[in-house]
Amino acid sequence: MGMNSFCELGLLLALLCSFCWVTTVAQCKTGCDLAFGSYYITQGQIFGNISVLFDGISFVDIQQYNPEASSQDSILFDTRLNITFTCDCNDGILGHTFRYPLKRGDTYNGVARTYANLTDVTWLQAVNSYAPTEIPDNGSLNVTVNCSCGDADISRDYGLFLTYPLRQGENLSGLASAFNISSSLLQRYNPNANYNSGRHLVFIPFKDSSGSYRPLQLSNGGIPAGAVVGIVVAGIAAMSILVICYFMVYKRKKTKASLLSSPFEDAPINDSPYPGYRVLIANLSRTYSCYLRVLHYLINQNTGPPFLMVRVMHSLLLEELGFLLTLFAILYLLEEKEPMVHQMPADNCPKQGHLSVKWLST
């Protein structure tokens, strides 16, 4: 394999590793057959209305995990019902989608309140095609509720979880006491939750109908930790190849070219034997900036285990970004501080979540 082919392979690896950061983040493999949502009952609600919200769930299913619900005709308000559903893996995210029957005057914000904040406006807009001002008076709306099947990196003792929307006045210690689990365990499953905000969803280990915790099914896990490490190592290795290529190809060609040029004139930048590397640097800078923005957006949307891998990848991405910036500094110094050309605006991120690196030559 010639040096040019070697460098082309290195460049390909670098680009593929950049894509790996996006394509592997927060990807679940499978869902689980049972999860729960904690639904807060407000005054005036009846079981028939609640059943419609959750795809016709029967009172028998409700009573199995809500023994205090003795009759469907006497549901107490200001209490919670544990609603059962399957936790599905859709587009790499764990959740369950219910169908809400639309009526005149419905809004995304109103539907989120109807579901007692088991979902929110952001999710409703993400899983439906209607603009906020164009919701029809009939038909149905997708209502996606996030869920969890557990996290092997935290504990294999818990594979059944309750999606719990926090309310004003609730806090970490009170929640831990109510569910008889430790505060530290709650924090590990929900590291970014603000327990005093009354707005976050938290995921709580839950007991099955026999009163026991169900152990984690490993097939429900996300990306193995070893795969994450492999991605990081591959990324750093690919960047290292680019550095080697720079020394062995570009500098060698530049030295040869300088011997042939006039000693009193500097060769124009655009006549460099390998001018495209500057564009690569500008594009990589732009792309990594976009990646970070996407990751920050995902982190801020929720706090449960489906997003734990996002936080891990976010942390590792920052480490590799530091390595990348060091590479840029080396290239800058070796180029004797020549001005960089083809600058691209860092805030010009690709639209609709499609991130790409374009190799542009001059």
State pLDDT tens for residues 238-287: 555 555 565 555 555 555 555 455 443 444 444 444 455 555 555 555 55
Which residues have a Cβ under 8 Å from the Cβ of 35 and sit 6 or more positions away?
A: 84, 85, 86, 87, 96, 147, 148, 149, 160, 161, 162, 163
Give the end-to-end CA distance of the chain in Å, rounded to a whole number.
26
Tell me the one-letter amino acid at 153. Answer: D
Three-state secondary-structure class, residue 189: helix
In this model, does residue 329 exceed pLDDT 90?
no
User: What does DSSP say about strands 32-40 and 161-165: parallel, antiparallel, or unpaired?
Assistant: parallel
Q: Give residue 218's pLDDT.
A: 74
Q: Give residue 8's pLDDT.
A: 54
Alpha carbon distance 91, 80 (integer Å): 30
DSSP state of 271: G
In this model, does residue 348 exceed pLDDT 60?
no
Q: For residue 155, report the phi and psi dihedrals to the nearest 5 degrees.
A: -165, 145
Dihedral, 301, 304, 306, 308 alpha carbons, nearest 10:
90
**In which residue are the tokens 């590990």 written?**
188
Q: Give me Rg for the CA atoms of the chain.
A: 27
Alpha carbon distance 109, 101 (integer Å): 15
Question: What average pLDDT does range 328-336 have in this prediction?
Answer: 55
Taking only the tens place, the pLDDT of each residue in 128-187 is 999 999 999 999 999 999 999 999 999 999 999 999 999 999 999 999 999 999 999 999
The helices-and-strands tally (H runs, E runs) of the chain is 11, 6
Model pTM score: 0.58
Which residues have a Cβ under 8 Å from the Cβ of 308 and sit 6 or more positions away?
A: 151, 153, 191, 222
Alpha carbon distance 85, 210 (integer Å): 18
Give the C-alpha distances (Å, rounded to integers) separating 144 from 94, 117, 136, 141.
10, 11, 19, 10
Which residues have a Cβ under 8 Å from the Cβ of 355 and sit 6 or more positions away?
A: 19, 22, 287, 290, 291, 294, 349
